[in-house]
């Protein structure tokens, strides 16, 4: 059994990664604790295989679009934060959303 190196990691001095929720071609989603507000959130990372400028832009646009539309519709997840994890020097983009 392989241990996920992200479990237990803190992002932006705020989000503590707790558990892997899902993994697909585009990215990986974790359940996390927002230590500032004391709530459970989901954190999505772009897949390591897609770390190129075009896909980073698409990922950022996905986060922005969900953030804007999520405020207007109950059918779209609400994105609350976006950031770059530079823990291992690979500048991995992520966004934070409500945990459903």
φ, ψ (nearest 5 deg) of residue 92: -85, 115
Stretch 26-54: mean pLDDT, rounded? 95
Measured CA angle at 50 (ends 19, 86), to 5 deg: 60
Kindly tell me if the per-residue pLDDT of 86 is higher than 90: no
Q: What pLDDT, on the 0 to 100 scale, is given for residue 2?
A: 61
Please spell the DSSP secondary structure of 28-51, one letter per residue.
Answer: EEEEEEETTTTEEEEEEEE-GGG-
Q: Judge whether 99 and 80 are in contact, CB under 8 Å.
A: no
Say which DSSP state 6 is in. Answer: T
9-18, 69-78, 88-97: which has the minimum mean pLDDT?
A: 69-78
Which is the CATH superfamily of the domain at 10-98?
Phosphorylase Kinase; domain 1 (3.30.200.20)
Residue 78, both tokens: 């609400």
Domain ranges for the chain, please list them.
10-98
């Amino acid at each position: 059994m392989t241990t996920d190196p992200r479990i237990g990691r803190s992002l932006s001095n705020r989000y503590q990664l707790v558990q892997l929720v899902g993994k697909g071609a585009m990215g990986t989603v974790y359940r996390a604790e927002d230590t500032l507000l004391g709530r459970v959130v989901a954190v999505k990372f772009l897949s390591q295989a897609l770390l190129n400028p075009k896909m980073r832009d698409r990922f950022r646009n996905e986060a922005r679009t969900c953030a804007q539309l999520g405020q207007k519709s109950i059918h779209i997840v609400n994105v609350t934060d976006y950031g770059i994890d530079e823990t291992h020097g690979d500048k991995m983009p992520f966004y934070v959303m409500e945990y459903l």
